[in-house]
Amino acid sequence: MRMERTLVIVKPDGVQRGLIGPLLSRLEARGLKIVGLKLVQVSQDLAARHYAEHEGKPFYPGLLKYITSAPVIVACVEGTSAVQMVRNSVGATNPLNAAPGTVRGDLALDIGRNLIHASDAPATAERELALWFQDAELVSYERATDRWIFES
């Protein structure tokens, strides 16, 4: 296990439903540390760069329209194996397949309104974080609880 950083986006539906706090608190309760956080109205250009891998797919135009439709919360989360830990907490992309106890399993119904984005691999996290955050916007710090959460 190693310390990683990953991208989390509370999507427009999560923001509009007033779930920012509950969604982020699930990750913090797990022991993950928020090291970057901001509210963003996503531009068409940023949306296209973030979802570049889906360009040409039938759902791509709708995806861009959706992510730019209202503000999002963008977070950089840090912790041991953070990418997989966040993915496990968020649940399957399709809420129909998401396990109870996960964000999507508990709070979402439709794949197109699944509340939250989480990077799917360390390399993806690195690419996505560079799109959404400048280095100066990410803060390294120690919490008094870190020694009780992370093994040295």
**Helix axes 122-132 and 82-90, enclosed angle (nearest 10):** 90
User: For residues 104 and 82, what is the distance between their CA atoms, to the nearest angstrom?
Assistant: 18
Q: Which of 12, 117, 119, 132 is catalytic?
A: 117
Residues in contact with 85: Cβ distance below 8 Å, sequence separation at least 6, in sequence order:
30, 32, 79
User: For residues 136 and 152, what is the distance between their CA atoms, to the nearest angstrom?
Assistant: 26
Known catalytic residue: 117?
yes
Is 87 in contact with 118 (CB distance < 8 Å)?
yes
Residue 51 burial (CB count, 10 A): 16
**Residue numbers annotated as active site:** 117
